[in-house]
Amino acid sequence: MRISVIGCGYLGAVHAACMAHLGHEVVGVDVNAGKIESLSAGLAPFFEPDMPALLAEGLDSSRLTFTTDMAITATCNVHFIAVGTPQKKGENGADLRFVEAALEDLLRYLKPGDIVVGKSTVPVGTAERLSAMIRTNMPDATLIWNPEFLREGFAVADTLNPDRLVYGTRTGSETAVEILDGIYGAALERGTPRILTDFATAELVKVAANAFLATKISFINAMAEVCEASGADVSQLADAIGYDPRIGRKFLNAGLGFGGGCLPKDIRAFMARAGELGADQALTFLREVDSINMRRRARTIDLAREVCGGTLLGKRIAVLGLAFKPNSDDVRDSPALSVAAQLQLQGASVVASDPKAVANSAKRFPELEFTETVIEAVKRADAVMVLTEWQEYIDLSPSELRGLVASPNIVDGRNCLDPTKWRAEGWIYRALGRP
């Protein structure tokens, strides 16, 4: 099968490289010439473990190529649409401009028997509309909606070994389903569950999964608020309830909350779409999930102010961690970067560091001071804030850092440090949801 992957962002670039790894001939298409140039040179435009090796393998074997020229899709039979669906400016809904533009462009080259596979996260109802557009232009082409569940930092593993495959189809798509089964043959042979359903269910699976994950995180962060009010410890609470297999310990880490390019925008787009469908009441709880999440950022700033003696004015604050989660250089809606910027706006002088996300952060908030090393960041600091749980921050030595700072105050925004160890070295340790 010759495959095109339209949209070479996080989702598309990883998908293209993984499909080439599985032995398919793949061409990645994107309108951004810089991105295509970088990918063609074997450089992923984002940090993702395993991507450099996979890109090199695909390019060396010539099974993987990249281009800005959509005409290349005329030589392919299966076309994955993997463009972004960001939040609309000033509204909660998803912006479908890129999906629509990609499909319109692709329609010019579609041939009878071609399969279009939708991977982008879209509001329920979109696939039905896109399928009608395809049928009008090329009645013998078929659309399958096949959402993607990859996590940044594990994107390659999640694509090669998915938990499940979901195909949303219309009746009469049997041949297309067989072809897609062939593409995912390796995973299916390993017994990966495959759910064959309609368009609407397939679209909803994706947003429902993200809404559930966001709710789980905000649930434990709501418990953290109650713990703060009552002197209890949310980390022990999470461990204890997590032993119940019906609850499970995963995604129960209380702290600064969720961010990134998916969960925040996806729950907002889901609420907006439910409103359009007249089902807004069903999702009003997601507004609270969003608010709880945002309150954690404000609470973290309050903790910084408290350890600094009641004011942030003129205080030097070391921020360790800017990425929205460890093993990523992504700062889209990053709680850590948002807190760093707020601290600066409230009069502190912030020196921020991150193992991978300094360059991306500097593009968004050039007024912050950045440094590549922890040592430089913490020198003469009035408070140290750990805002992304990178392993190298978890491994920091409280005694070594003690000699560098102006005052030994540490705020653990991710409940990732051992309070006993830090307090034993004379640090004032504060965290979210812990005494």
The partner residues of 2 in beta bridges, in order of sequence, read 25
Q: Is 308 a catalytic residue?
A: no
Closest to 321 (Cα-Cα) out of 414, 254, 400, 252: 414
Catalytic residue among 18, 76, 262, 416: 262
Nearer to ligand UDX, 223 or 263 (CB): 263
Nearer to ligand UDX, 254 or 358 (CB): 254
Shortest distance in whole angstroms from residue 158 CB to ligand UDX: 7
Residues 234-263 as x/- pattern, contact with ligand UDX by CB under 6 A: -----------------xxx-x-xxxx-xx
Q: Of residues 176-235, which lie at the interface with ligand UDX (CB under 6 A)?
A: 210, 213, 217
Among 151, 170, 295, 379, binds ligand UDX (CB under 6 A): 151
User: Per CB under 6 A, does 122 bind ligand UDX?
Assistant: no
Residues 260-289 as x/- pattern, contact with ligand UDX by CB under 6 A: x-xx--------------------------
Shortest distance in whole angstroms from residue 164 CB to ligand UDX: 11
Q: Of residues 63-82, which lie at the interface with ligand UDX (CB under 6 A)?
A: none
Nearer to ligand UDX, 216 or 305 (CB): 216
Q: Of residues 299-328, which lie at the interface with ligand UDX (CB under 6 A)?
A: 324-325
Q: Using an 8 Å Cβ cutoff, are 312 and 381 in contact?
A: no
Binding region for ligand UDX (CB under 6 A):
149-152, 210, 213, 217, 251-253, 255, 257-260, 262-263, 324-325
Residues labelled catalytic = 262
